Amino acid sequence: MSQNEIAISVQGLKKSYKKVPVLTGVDFEVKTGSIFALLGSNGAGKTTIVRILTTLLQQDQGNVIVNGYNVASKPEQVRQSISLTGQFAAVDEILTGRENLVMIAQLRHLKDARQVATDLLHRFGLTEAADRRVATYSGGMRRRLDIAMSLVGKPPLIFLDEPTTGLDPEVRLEFWQIVKELAADGTTVFLTTQYLEEAEQLADRIAILHEGKIIVSGTLAELKQLFPPAKMEYIEKQPGLEEIFLAIIGKKTTK
């Protein structure tokens, strides 16, 4: 695979906090234009990986390349080519929805900031609320605005760190559709999620992080092959990702 076809390359990534190892040798690649889902229990280190990939945290060891740039030596170039949406909406409540978007567009030095804002407000169903202060928005509206802000300037790579936490099922389905459209347009999406159904619905490839390492990585079909055959005999339907995840974690934990 050529360098242009790889959006993220991680080799031997290690990170400890106060001598407590969190990442103990993480390796994976993310193909350009794909949706890559990183799964793991709470505290597994998913957010630590996202923070390193987005230059918010320095790794202890390892080689990390994002959009062709080394995160340690070229952090500014990495930041200019990515966008990050975390678990909590990073919107300014004092400003209106439109003002939030215009501000981000201006910070990214886009020519027609107001038109960019108008287009995104329409796309995310926020036109009617555009000129209301964000403090009056519902949780779902704030999340939609937050994701709209992350798309200003059409970054080629978007990090979504547990982006649908706290959203109701209807808004979550809307969000899934948006992510699918992004990937269809060629945007690379790196997703961490606590909702296994989300990874099942969206991801081209899924990696499971456990005890500081990626223990399995592959398509959903490939992960299904790892489901213990003895258990397969007792279920009529194909195993879901939740069953596969628990079986794989369980297998690894008992060794």
Confidence of residue 88 (pLDDT cuts 50, 70, 90): low
DSSP letters of 4-46? GGEEEEEEEEEEEETTEEEEEEEEEEEETT-EEEEE--TTSSH
119-151 pLDDT tens trace: 999 988 899 999 999 999 987 788 889 888 988
Which of 89-93, 227-231, 233-237 is the most confident on average?
89-93
50 and 23 Cβ atoms separated by less than 8 Å: no
Confidence of residue 235 (pLDDT cuts 50, 70, 90): very low
178-217 pLDDT tens trace: 889 889 989 999 999 878 888 989 999 999 998 899 988 9
Q: Write the burial class of residue 109 (CB in 10 Å: 0-12 exposed, 13-18 middle, 19+ buried).
A: exposed
124 and 145 Cβ atoms separated by less than 8 Å: yes
* Local structure of residue 60 (DSSP, 8 states): S
Distance CA 95, CA 175 (A): 23
47 and 22 Cβ atoms separated by less than 8 Å: no
CB atoms within 10 A of CB 128: 9
> Quick one: angle between helices 97-107 and 139-150, nearest 10?
20
Distance CA 229, CA 235 (A): 10
**Rounded to the nearest 5°, which phi and psi values hold at 91?**
-105, 155
Pairing type for strands 6-17 and 157-161 reads unpaired
**pLDDT for res 1:** 52
CA 93 to chain centre: 24
**pLDDT for res 237:** 54
Structural domains of the chain, with CATH:
3-81+157-162+186-254 (3.40.50.300)
201 and 245 Cβ atoms separated by less than 8 Å: no
Distance CA 77, CA 65 (A): 11
Nearest-CA neighbor of 199 among 169, 242, 232, 158?
242
Return mean pLDDT, the chain: 86
Distance CA 133, CA 251 (A): 50
Pairing type for strands 205-210 and 188-192 reads unpaired
Q: Of residues 143 and 218, which shows the higher confidence score?
A: 218
